[in-house]
A and B are shown apart, each in its own frame.
Chain A
Amino acid sequence: MKIVVLVKHVPDTAEERKLDLATGQLDREATGGVVDEINERALEAALRIKDSNKGTEVVAMTMGPEGAAQALRKALSMGADSGVHIVDDSLSGADTGRTAATLAAALRSTGFDVVLAGNESTDGRAGVIPAMLAEHLQLPLLGSLISAEIADGAVSGVRQGEGGTLDIHTGLPAVLTVTERFPEARFPNFKGILTAKRKPVTTLSASRLGVQAPVSRTVVISTVERPPRPAGRKLIDDGTAANELAEFLVANRLV
């Protein structure tokens, strides 16, 4: 079985992320880049299948500028067999539609039984790429899973919906997305880090894939920074703080 895991190189959520006020695009200089945590959980799910079934091939795929190669290296050191990096300048600032069209073309060229992704990235948070891919590839999508059972030819899982969970299943090939309920990822070990250097990484460009930019696109027309919150009051509790807080809530009509 061949599993392609989509990984995104994103700004570290532990730091203050910035947008370029002129273009509305991410300021990549402002923060360090990391593999989005949700993608690490997706990769972990793929690696666990590989752990118990050595015939499984795990490919990590990313689209992003040069620096995104770091995300692939991390994935390879964790245990992925190979990497695919889609990179070219024309993809800079690609919206979700463009990204999905490009990733779909790359997935067609690599082939797969399962595509595994996170339910949403921490930077864009749109949560639409996997469903767009599924539509491009005419495949079923098992989205927002809290658990999954992947076997030859079929996959079942539990989907976190709005008011409860759904038991769902479909045949392969299919696109799956995991939520934070999936287990945390393993750390790369020393051997993994060493062997990662010898693992193959294929580089693809939009032109090599032959994908045109979709006619429909999103355009950012303004970006405004919120003013910081003014400093508030801070009391050290001496037994009266709860009362003062109650007064504050009443005075501000909050109770």
Chain B
Amino acid sequence: MSNVLVLIEFSPRGEIAASARGLLAAAATLGSPVAVVVSATPLADDDVARLGELGAAGIYSAVTAAAGTVLLAPAVDALSGAVDAYEPAAVLAANSVDGREAAARLAVRVGGSVLADVVHVHNGNGTVVAQHSVFGGAYTVESVVEGGLPILTIRQGAIEGQAPTVQAELKTVSLGSNAEGVVLIDGFHDDPAGSARPELRSAATVVSGGRGLGSSANFVLVEQLADTLGAAVGASRAAVDAGYVAQTAQVGQTGVSVSPQLYIALGISGAIQHRAGMQTSKTIVAINKDEDAPIFDVADFGIVGDIFTVVPQLIEAVKARSN
């Protein structure tokens, strides 16, 4: 079976990033997954075990003092080393800030092409076929790479399931560090994330708030409904611009694309750019006091009403039923 490389990212706290599960699951449908990992010290046993649990048959562990102080260059060097070592059929990275920059540089360095923001992969007679959800899900497009290595960035949260657990075979290499023309990291600041809530991109339920909330104090209403439903919190760009909530919560054209079982839009008009990030949700609920708000065009259940009246009632009604 051919090898498929997977770039593994770490969370700011040093844990294997949540994207690893979906990436390894996608890789396992194409071949034998090999995790490519960059770290400053040799990979901890726990991480080796965890990657095997998530389906990594091999681990290419690149150790370099530059990890953590030099932005991304070590990851690209590690990937290109692993391409030489494993002659993979494809390389997968998260469609994250780091993942896509690494994928892009690798494509130029090794003569490949990037299939970007992939939501599904399959093996079509030996060819890696990538599926994309384009223009907010209005189109489903399939694409392949001809004449070079397919390098895929996988939309976070899009791949469900987990690859079968295996015993990972560890290969450790030490990476030289090139101090020329690199970007240096001077400091890191954790997002003040409501970490108790599910992650927006993979949550089964998302409750989003818009400009209709009126203030960051009022935005608590969105969080209260989210917590009642065990949901992630999202927002419109207007709510982000107004400072009600962090930019990472933005759903839409230039924010996160979500496709949960249930999406609830509170005080969001439903501009086409917002719909582009949520209209593939399985069930959509909207509460808005403007009867003509375009969000109702995509809503399975719409309430024309005031969120400050309806949402507290809804929280009570849901609590009453779940008792």
Query: Which residues from chain A sit less than 8 Å from chain B, CB to CB?
Result: 13-17, 19, 24, 38, 95-97, 100, 120, 122, 124-132, 134-136, 138-144, 156, 159-171, 174, 179-181, 214-226, 229, 232-237, 241-243, 245-246, 248-250, 252, 254-255
By CB atoms of chain B within 10 A, which of A120, A218, A235 has the most?
A218
B247: CB under 8 A from chain A? yes
B174 at the interface (CB under 8 A from A): no
* CB neighbours of B184 from chain A (8 A): 168-170
CB-CB under 8 A from A160, the residues of chain B are 97, 247-248
Shortest C-beta distance, A166 to chain B (Å), equals 5
* Interchain CA distance A214-B299 in the complex, whole Å: 45
A234: contacting residue among B135, B149, B302, B322, CB under 8 A: B302
Q: Which residues of B sit under 8 angstroms from A124, Cβ to Cβ?
A: 116
> Chain B interface (Cβ within 8 Å of chain A)?
9, 11-13, 17, 71-72, 95-98, 100-105, 107-109, 111-117, 129, 134-135, 137-149, 153, 181-191, 193, 205, 229, 237, 247-248, 253-254, 261-262, 271-273, 276, 279-280, 283-285, 291, 296, 298-306, 309-311, 313-314, 316-318, 320-322
Q: Quick check: A237 and B107 within 8 Å, CB to CB?
A: no
Given contacts A24-B141, A100-B108, A241-B310, 20 further A-B pairs with CB under 8 A are A17-B138, A19-B135, A96-B114, A97-B113, A126-B117, A127-B100, A127-B116, A134-B105, A136-B108, A141-B72, A144-B97, A167-B188, A180-B247, A216-B112, A217-B148, A218-B115, A236-B303, A241-B305, A242-B303, A255-B229
Chain A, residue nearest B106 (CB): A135
Cα distance, A164 to B13, chains bound together (Å): 11
List the 6 closest A-B pairs by CB distance, nearest first. A216-B148, A237-B305, A242-B313, A126-B116, A131-B104, A246-B317
Interface centre among A124, A132, A224, A248 (most CB of B within 10 A): A132
A72 to B258, CA, bound (A): 34
Question: A141 CA to B72 CA in the complex, in Å?
Answer: 9
CB distance from B288 to the nearest CB of A (A): 10
Sample 6 A-B pairs with CB under 8 A, ordered by A number. A17-B138, A128-B100, A181-B247, A219-B144, A246-B321, A248-B301
Alpha-carbon separation in the docked complex, A206 to B144 (Å): 24
* Distance of A11 from chain B, by nearest CB (Å): 9
The reply to whether B190 and A232 form a contact with Cβ atoms under 8 Å apart is no
Residue in chain A with minimal CB distance to B192: A164
Write the nearest CB–CB distance from A115 to chain B, whole angstroms. 14
B interface majority secondary structure: mixed
Would you call B138 and A254 a contact (CB within 8 A)? no
Instruction: Check B146 against A126 for contact (C-beta < 8 Å).
Output: no
The CA-CA distance from A88 to B248 in the complex, in Å, is: 39
- In Å, the complex CA distance between A66 and B134 comes to 25
Residues from chain A with a CB closer than 8 A to the CB of B116 are: 96, 124-128
Query: Would you give the shortest CB distance from A162 to chain B, in whole angstroms?
Result: 5
A interface, over-half SS: mixed
Residue in A96, A237, A255 whose CB lies within 8 Å of B303: A237
Assess the B144–A180 pair: CB atoms within 8 A: no
- A216–B187 CB distance below 8 A: no
**Alpha-carbon distance A110/B79, docked complex (angstroms):** 32
- Give the CA-CA distance A17 to B135 in the complex, in Å: 7
- The residue that B262 contacts in the complex, of A142, A159, A254, with Cβ under 8 A, is A254
Chain B contacts for A214, CB-based, 8 A? 111, 113, 148
Q: Which chain B positions have C-beta within 8 A of A229?
A: 279, 284, 298, 300
With contact pairs A134-B105, A135-B108, A217-B146 given, residues A140 and B303 touching in the complex (Cβ less than 8 Å)? no
A16 to chain B: closest CB distance in Å?
A: 7
| Cα(A210)–Cα(B193), bound, Å | 49
Q: Is the CB of A19 within 8 A of B141?
A: yes
CB distance from B185 to the nearest CB of A (A): 6
